[in-house]
């Protein structure tokens, strides 16, 4: 699907579902990573992640377009267009628009790596996501010397 076809699709959905015209630009944006689309407040344009179409198909993309059009029309009308606003939630229900996009990656969440430290005096263990310089810190319980034990996945 090209940007021109996307523009026509958004204009058609806007007039059919909302009964209002979409008068601004739309395009695909492959740099979007975690979201299916976004509405740009400054220029009133809508950007859609092409992965939505590639992974989930046209029906999911239409849902994302309807979601972004809810932001668009409410913002243009001066009503509450944010996710937490009652106007936005009500328009989502009226238009059967999804509140969230389906996940765009098949990867499971990355496992967190912990660094394990232990006090030499009281044997209290510390797990940290980031490494720490053991020369700068002492044990919070007994003020003993801390040593790095291992990295835990």
Asked about 68 being catalytic, the answer comes back as: yes
Question: How far is residue 115's CA from residue 105's CA, in Å, rounded to a whole number?
Answer: 28
Given the residues 5, 47, 68, 90, select the one marked as catalytic: 68
Which pairs with CB-CB distance under 8 Å and at least 24 residues apart come from 74-81? 75/39, 75/41, 75/44, 76/44, 81/39
Greatest alpha-carbon span in the chain: 72
Q: CA–CA separation, 148 vs 60, rounded Å?
A: 48
Cβ count within 10 A of residue 14? 21
Whether the CB-CB separation of 56 and 105 falls below 8 Å is answered with no
Enumerate the active-site residues. 68
């Amino acid at each position: 699907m090209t940007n021109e076809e996307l523009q026509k699709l958004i204009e058609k959905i806007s007039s059919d579902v909302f009964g209002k015209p979409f008068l601004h630009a739309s395009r695909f944006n492959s740099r979007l990573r975690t979201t299916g689309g976004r509405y740009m407040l400054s220029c009133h344009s809508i950007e859609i992640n092409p992965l939505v179409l590639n992974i989930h198909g046209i029906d999911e993309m239409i849902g994302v377009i309807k979601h972004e059009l809810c932001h668009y029309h409410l913002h243009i009308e001066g009503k509450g267009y944010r996710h937490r606003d009652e106007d936005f939630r009500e328009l989502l229900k009226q238009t059967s628009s999804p509140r969230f996009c389906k996940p765009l990656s098949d990867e499971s969440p990355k496992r967190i790596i912990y660094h394990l430290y232990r006090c030499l005096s009281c044997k209290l263990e510390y797990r940290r996501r980031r490494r720490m310089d053991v020369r700068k810190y002492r044990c919070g319980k007994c003020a003993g010397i801390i040593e790095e034990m291992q990295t835990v996945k």
